[in-house]
Chains A and B, each alone.
Chain A
Amino acid sequence: MKFVDNVKADVTADIVYMMCPMHLLKLDEMMKKIEKGQILEIMTDYDGALEDIPQWCEKTGNEFIGIHEDEDYFKFYVRKLV
């Protein structure tokens, strides 16, 4: 897992306390809304996202930048490539 600090996101989606599969649905929804090259930050406390979000990026051809652990949730950073 890639841990990152100080990533500047263009758009943030806060889905803390939302369970599976909201992390994937929100990711898909937000990625459709942003421009190529922009960075999406997803805040979630759902552990399954640790596996699912990098896999989703690999499958769809987008860049998984990494995660940042914040208090009791994670911040995932994804750059839109396609």
Chain B
Amino acid sequence: MRCYLDHVATNPLDPQVFDAMLPYFKEEFGNPLSIYDLGIKARTAIENAREQVGKLINSKPSNIIFTSSGAEANNLALRGLAMAKQSTGKHVLVSKVEHHSILNSARVLEKSGFAVTYLPVDKYGVVDPDVVKSSITKETILVSITHASSEIGSIEPIKEISKITKQKKILLHTDAVATCGNIPVDVNDLDVDALSIAAHQFYGPKGAGALYVREGVRIVPLIYGGIQEGGRRAGTENVPAIVGMGKAAEIAMQRMSDRIAHCQRLRDRIIESILKIPNVYLTGHPENRLPHHASFVVEFIEGEAMLLMLAMKGIYAASGSACSSRALKSSPVLLSLGVQTALAQGSIVFTLGQGNTDAEIDYLLDEFPKVISRLREMSPFAKGWQQGS
């Protein structure tokens, strides 16, 4: 059996999305800037996708800037908004549970003379709006807090934070890569100035992302060149990917409640069953979390070992963020929750999708305890525990 439980890494492309994209790889290959009919068709397709993505987040189409990824959208937001506002101040707030595309962009800003405050989180990885408020100085120009961390699944209080930033006239960006297309995201309800999206998180293609930027908010581009995206992001557009993103957004709106109900039920089965295994703990918020997200730390063993053994059984999961996992580093997100370094090594994340079945979850829940037992038998750290000392 193959059991794909790593939907925050990426999702399979929806067949309807693939069908929508196909003509733009083949006969409709025109450059959207060309003035003849081939170009007009490509341009019309992009504008249609802009409308579809806009609807998904309740935005005017003109406030959507297509990018190559969620990471590019995050880079553009953090660096572009900070650079545009630097004449009024050079202080930026981000949380400690941000994706690397935010944290590393923040570090680049620090090298360019900005001051960055990395906000702490509680044991569930949630930012306290009062801490945001007390961290704001006269120099603060931008706050960027993720809508939900893909590592721990906790949903952040963006609406509460936006009340503070609005009052202080500070820009607020949220990285909604993990949420957009999976749970309702409304830029007006959240009252954010900028919001990042990635298509492959909701059954769209890789290589397609977007940044919402509220009307009237200035941004310095990362990529200069042509007039694409109103001069805000140059480069000939990836038309098939943008078309796919639009279609995926349209489908996400139609199927969101079904997807949430389906994933949440399976997620709750996983959490309930896995927490019965001794010395396994849930990470992230127990209730206010992504409906398709179940994350744990398993004591005495390493996440990498669990991943490999699960993969041998055809079960695909994740251990922390892809970057931390590859670097064999403890996840900075888990450490920021107060998880001890040794325990943070035993991180495992299961994320569900519309294609997962109860039979797959049965299989996981049968195999995963065996994997833990086998690894604990081999683990020198587990010995004392097994002997009860």
Contacts and interface: CB of A to CB of B under 8 A. Distances in A.
Interface magnitude class on chain B? 10 to 19
A61 to B, nearest CB: 24
Interface in A44-82: 71-72
A35 interface: no
B227 A22 contact: yes
B230 interface: yes
Interface in B185-240: 216, 218-221, 224, 227, 230-232
A18 B219 CA distance: 9
A25 B230 CA distance: 9
Q: Is the interface of B mostly helix, strand, loop or mixed?
A: loop
A17 interface: yes
B231 A19 contact: yes
Interface in A2-56: 14-19, 21-22, 25
Contacts of B227: 21-22, 25
A71 B86 CA distance: 13
Contacts of B220: 17
Contacts of A71: 87
B9 interface: no
A21 B87 CA distance: 25
Interface magnitude class on chain A? 10 to 19
Contacts of A19: 221, 224, 231
B216 A15 contact: no
Contact of B218 (A17, A21, A25): A17
B231 A18 contact: yes
B84 interface: yes
Contacts of A72: 87
B232 A14 contact: no
Interface in B280-330: none
B232 A18 contact: yes
Contacts of A25: 227, 231
A14 B218 contact: yes
A59 B227 CA distance: 22
Given A17-B83, A22-B230, 20 more contacts: A14-B216, A14-B218, A15-B231, A16-B218, A17-B84, A17-B218, A17-B220, A17-B221, A18-B230, A18-B231, A18-B232, A19-B224, A19-B231, A21-B227, A22-B227, A22-B231, A25-B227, A25-B231, A71-B87, A72-B87
Which are the 9 A-B pairs with shortest beta-carbon distances?
A22-B231, A18-B231, A17-B220, A16-B218, A19-B224, A17-B218, A25-B227, A17-B84, A22-B227
Interface of A: 14-19, 21-22, 25, 71-72
25 contacts: A14-B216, A14-B218, A15-B231, A16-B84, A16-B218, A17-B83, A17-B84, A17-B219, A17-B220, A17-B221, A18-B221, A18-B230, A18-B231, A18-B232, A19-B221, A19-B224, A19-B231, A21-B227, A22-B227, A22-B230, A22-B231, A25-B227, A25-B231, A71-B87, A72-B87
Interface of B: 83-84, 87, 216, 218-221, 224, 227, 230-232
